[in-house]
Structure 1
Amino acid sequence: MKILIIEDEPVLRHSIAQYLTTEGNVCSLASTYAESLERLNLYEYDCILLDLTLPDGEGLQLLNYLKRMNRAEGVIIISARNSIDQKIEGLSLGADDYLIKPFHLSELNARILAVMRRKSAQGDRHIEFNEIRIDIDAKEVTINGLGVYMTKKEFDLLLYFIANKGKVISKSAAVEHIWGDDSDMANSFDFIYTHIKNIRKKLTDAGSRDYFQSVYGVGYKFTST
């Protein structure tokens, strides 16, 4: 999962990033309103952790921006403001959850998983595509009941393509989603080919159809047609 952490307190910002990274996520960091807006203009994320008090602006302004742009990211407000009015305003502007500081990082992680389940699987803990079944929480893939071992990157890529089935996904978009902002440093996206090749082989060896289609000069599409 790709997460943007918007928090101006350095210790808390890096503690959250360290914890969520060990849970298998890709984290990007921002400490100001301007930096947050720049990242949101450049990248898309699965989930945004949003502090309301920033040195150069208000987190609620960023919520307004996301709403105007019809962005689909899950948003969890993390704030020291224990105000019912602030909570109502944040949720009414499109935030999915509101967590009061201080909090346990394990609780934050549970809130993120709950938001993403509602966003990507309509509350279900599983995603199915024909004979392919994915358990989001356990990070398990089965084909007609047969378990298929996937690395973390392979699992995330497969989930990403199934969530965007029927759409053409460029190599750069796939790399950005899985590797985060560091993808800008890559000299070549050829390694995406290797990952997809491995996923295709594991799925077909387990009895699945090959749903990946190469789109010349662009990337790949995951489709049954």
Structure 2
Amino acid sequence: MKVLLIEDNKEMILNIIKYLSQEGMICEVAENLFDAQDKILSFEYDCILLDLTLPDGNGLSLLKELKRLESKPDVLIISAKNSLEDKLLGLDLGADDYLPKPFHLAELLARIKAIYRRTKLGGTEVLVFEEIQVQYQNLLASVHGKQLDLTKKEFDLLVFLITNKNRVLGKSAIAQHLWGDYTDNLSNFDFVYQHIKNLRKKIAEAGGRDYLSTVYGIGYKFGANQS
């Protein structure tokens, strides 16, 4: 899962990034609205953690821009502003949940996972596509009931493909989802092809169909209508 934390408290940033990274999440940071706007227009995220009180404005203004995006990231407001008016306005503008500060990091993680289950996995920990079954909580994937031996990146790639089925995904979008800011200075994304190749091979060896097609010059598309 790729997360964008929009927060200006440096101590909180370090604590959240360390905790979520240990849970296998890709975490990026924007410390103000200007940087946040640039990131959400340039990259895609599964979840946005949004503080309301930022140096250059109110975080709620960002929710209006998020509505216009083709991708719809989950939004969890994390703020010391705990008035009912702020909460209702944030939810009305499209936020998925509201967590007042201070909070325990374990609760933050639980809220992120709960939103993801509700919006991306249909309210369950099990993601099913044709003969492929993914147990998100246990990081397990199987084909026709046969467990796949996937690396963490391959597992994340499979979840990303299934939750974005029938969409054309560019190589850079896949790379950013799996590696975050680390990919910014890379000259090519050949490693994406290698992970795609490995995932295809493991699914085929378990008796699964190949649902991936290559979109020349762009990336890949995953769906039941593929060869």
TM-score grouping bracket, smaller chain normalisation: over 0.9
- Judging changes above 3 Å, is the alpha-carbon distance between structure 1 residues 166 and 82 closer, same or farther for their aligned structure 2 residues? closer
1:4 CA drift (Å)? 0.4
Structure-1 residue corresponding to 2:150: 150
Residue type of the partner of 1:62?
A: L
Shift, 1:119, TM fit: 1.1
Mean CA deviation greater in 122-131 or 214-223: 214-223
Question: 1:20-99 maps to which residues of 2 (within 5 A)?
Answer: 20-69=20-69, 72-99=72-99
- Structure 1 residues without counterparts, runs of 5 or longer: none
Q: Give RMSD over aligned pairs.
A: 1.4
CA distance in 1, matches of 2:162, 2:78: 30
- State TM-score, norm by structure 1: 0.95
Say whether residues 1:104 and 2:112 are aligned partners. Answer: no
- Secondary structure, counterpart of 2:138 in structure 1: coil
d(CA) in 2 for partners of 1:106 and 1:99? Answer: 12
Letter of the structure 2 residue corresponding to residue 184 of structure 1 = D
1:140 maps onto 2:140 in alignment: yes
* Partner secondary structure for residue 98 of structure 1: strand
Measured against aligned partners, the alpha-carbon deviations of 1:110-140 in whole angstroms (never above 9, x if no partner) come to 1000001111122122111111001111111
Cα offset for 1:69?
A: 4.2
- Secondary structure of the residue aligned to 2:147 is strand
SS in 2 for 1:197: helix
The alpha carbon displacement at 1:68 in A equals 4.3
Q: TM-score, normalization: structure 2? A: 0.94
**Residues 1:208 and 2:205 aligned together:** no
SS in 2 for 1:4: strand
Distance apart, 1:70 and its partner CA: 6.2
Percent identity between the two aligned chains: 50
Q: 1:71 to 1:160 in 2, by over 3 A?
A: closer
- The 2-side partners of 1:9 and 1:169 are apart by 34
In the alignment, structure 2 segments of 5+ residues that lack a partner are none
- Which residue of structure 2 lines up, in the alignment, with residue 18 of structure 1? 18
Question: Runs ≥4 in structure 1, deviation > 6 angstroms?
Answer: none
1:218 deviation in Å? 2.2
Q: Deviations over 1:24-43 (max 9, x none)?
A: 11111011111111111211
Q: Kindly provide the CA deviation profile for residues 72-126 of structure 1, in whole angstroms up to 9, marking residues without a partner as x.
A: 1100010112211111111111111111111111110010000011111221221
